[in-house]
């Protein structure tokens, strides 16, 4: 196999620490499809969705908008480090991280989990509501397209390496 073929195959690999499994293809714990639209439908069709906390859910739309909604804390995810080809993390949208352009967290969500958005290198816009009180370790690690983030006064705890390797970040 050529390096390009190997790289494509590697992109199809998933590893879920949350469920203690790994394999090829799309992680079976990630919801897909649906014709749902976010509020006014301006983001197009929902392409993927699932849970990311006991009462917190996520959905990704055609235009790259990632929507986190519900009430309570997001789950913590594991930043497993780097290998030759990529950062390894087990958030449920990790497989689609290259498609995530904007992040909207709705009021009611109280924490941003460890490594939640790690390696979302195309992420340019983040909205954090004043219901969030903590941001976990490495939450936005390696989000290389972020230029600014506004952290509300409600946040009383910020973990380690939250914005590590966010090379374009000029204001927080």
* pLDDT given at position 16: 46
* pLDDT given at position 83: 54
Q: What is the pTM of this model?
A: 0.74
* pLDDT given at position 97: 87
CA distance 102 to 13: 24
* pLDDT given at position 45: 78
Cα→Cα distances 17→13, 89, 167, 168, Å:
13, 9, 28, 30
Q: What DSSP character marks residue 132?
A: -
Token pair in block for residue 13: 């690999």
Answer yes or no: are the C-beta atoms of 36 and 46 closer than 8 Å. yes
Could you identify the residue written with the tokens 């997001």? 74
CA distance 41 to 79: 33
Split the chain (172 residues) into runs of 10 and give each run's mean pLDDT: 46 46 48 43 77 94 94 87 57 89 96 94 94 96 92 96 92 82
Residues present in the chain in total: 172
* pLDDT given at position 171: 82
- Considering only CA atoms, which of 165, 133, 130 is closest in space to residue 146? 165
């Amino acid at each position: 196999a050529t390096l390009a073929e190997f790289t494509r195959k590697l992109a199809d690999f998933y590893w879920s620490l949350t469920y203690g499994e790994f394999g090829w293809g799309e992680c079976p714990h990630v919801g897909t499809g649906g014709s749902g639209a976010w509020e006014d439908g301006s983001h197009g069709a929902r392409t993927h969705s699932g849970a990311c906390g006991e009462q917190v859910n996520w959905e990704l739309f055609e235009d790259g908008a990632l929507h986190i909604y519900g009430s309570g804390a997001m789950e913590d995810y594991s930043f497993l480090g780097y290998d030759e080809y990529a950062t390894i993390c087990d958030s449920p949208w990790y497989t689609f991280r290259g498609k995530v352009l904007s992040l909207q967290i709705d009021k009611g969500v109280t924490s941003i989990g460890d490594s939640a958005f790690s390696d979302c290198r195309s992420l340019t816009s983040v909205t954090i509501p004043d219901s969030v009180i903590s941001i976990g370790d490495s939450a936005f690690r390696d989000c290389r397209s972020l230029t600014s983030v506004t952290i509300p006064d409600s946040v009383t705890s910020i973990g380690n390496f939250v914005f590590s390797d966010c090379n374009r970040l000029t204001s927080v």
